[in-house]
Structure 1
Amino acid sequence: MKQALLIVDVQPSFAPPQWLIDGIQSLIGSMPSAATVERHDESRTPFQKQLGWHPAADDESLIHADRIFIKHGYAPTAETIDYLASLQVERVLVCGLQTETCCLAAGFALFDAGLQPTLITDLTVGSSLDRSGGLGVRLWEHHFGQTVTVGELGRG
């Protein structure tokens, strides 16, 4: 099956656990990959005003993906989705941080673009609301149906 990997916001501002970084990095090179980095620009997304916090304005991805896309806010950019669509893959594997927010937003964007988003459930971490990611996995299964584990990918 032809697939691509979308790594969501694995960056210093969100203090990802080392196991997540190592697990995602082990998939790099086995398929095309893209990573998003959420950067703060209050004039574009009012994180500080509405939520009282914000990611760094200059964060970089901790994963060495084929392509890195900067975003402001929860959802991936149109350029990110266009890149993944251009790969003509059967599905896009999604992993990373904020399972029930940023990963879910990526799932909606991929789905709306006609792609098949598939969450790698053991390579995701939830927000401070649910660090286990369980809420996000349940939402993902409800909206998109498709999840896998690293073991089911034949790596792990």
Structure 2
Amino acid sequence: MRQVLLIVDVQSTFSPPEWLVDGLRWLSANIPTIASVELHDEQATPFQRQLGWHPAAEDESLVEADQVFVKHGYGQTVETLEYIKQLGVERVLVCGMQTETCVLAAGFALFDAGLTPTLVTDMTVGSSLDRSGKMGIDLWKHHFRQVTTSAEVLAALAM
């Protein structure tokens, strides 16, 4: 199956746990990988004005990727979606930070673009509201149905 890994916002700003960074490094070494990094631009997304906080203005992905896209807000950029479409993949494996916000927003953007988003449930962390990510995983299952684990992905690649 032709697939790509999309790592959402695994960057210093969001203090990802080391187990997530290590797991994603292992996974990304075995599959084509794209990463998004969320940077602050108050003109693009009013984080400070509306929420009283903002991501860093400069940051980078903590996991090496074949392509990294900068975004200013929750959703993925048009450029990211176009790049993924050009790859001609059958599914997009999604993982990363804030399962019920940025990761879920990536799922909606991918779905709306006609792609097949699949959540890698053991490679995602929820926001401060639910660090377990369970709420986001449940929302993902409700909206997109497609979920997998890193072990399942790696097992399928070994076949």
CA contact (8 A) 2:27 2:154 kept: no
CA contact (8 A) 2:125 2:133 kept: yes
Number of the residue aligned with 2:54: 54
Give 1:1-150 correspondences, 5 Å limit: 1-150=1-150
Determine helix, strand or coil for the equivalent of 2:21. Answer: helix
What is the count of residue pairs matched by the alignment?
A: 155
Q: In structure 2, what residue type is equivalent to 1:105?
A: A
Report the CA distance between 1:151 and its aligned residue.
Answer: 1.6
Determine helix, strand or coil for the equivalent of 2:70. Answer: strand
Structure with greater proportional helix content: 2
CA contact (8 A) 2:4 2:89 kept: yes
TM-score by length of 1: 0.97
CA separation in 2, counterparts of 1:62 and 1:85? 24
Q: In structure 2, what residue type is equivalent to 1:107?
A: G
CA separation in 2, counterparts of 1:27 and 1:102? 20
Report the CA distance between 1:32 and its aligned residue.
Answer: 1.5
Q: In structure 1, what residue type is equivalent to 2:47?
A: F
CA separation in 2, counterparts of 1:140 and 1:5? 16
Determine helix, strand or coil for the equivalent of 1:23. Answer: helix
Report the CA distance between 1:126 and its aligned residue.
Answer: 0.3
Q: In structure 2, what residue type is equivalent to 1:112?
A: D
Q: In structure 2, what residue type is equivalent to 1:111?
A: F
Task: Kindly report the root-mean-square deviation, in angstroms, between the aligned alpha carbons of the 2 structures.
Answer: 0.8
**Gapped runs of 5+ residues in structure 1?**
none
Report the CA distance between 1:41 and its aligned residue.
Answer: 0.7
Determine helix, strand or coil for the equivalent of 1:27. Answer: helix
Q: In structure 2, what residue type is equivalent to 1:119?
A: L
CA separation in 2, counterparts of 1:137 and 1:130? 11
**Gapped runs of 5+ residues in structure 2?**
none
- Percentage identity across paired residues of the two chains: 65
TM-score by length of 2: 0.95
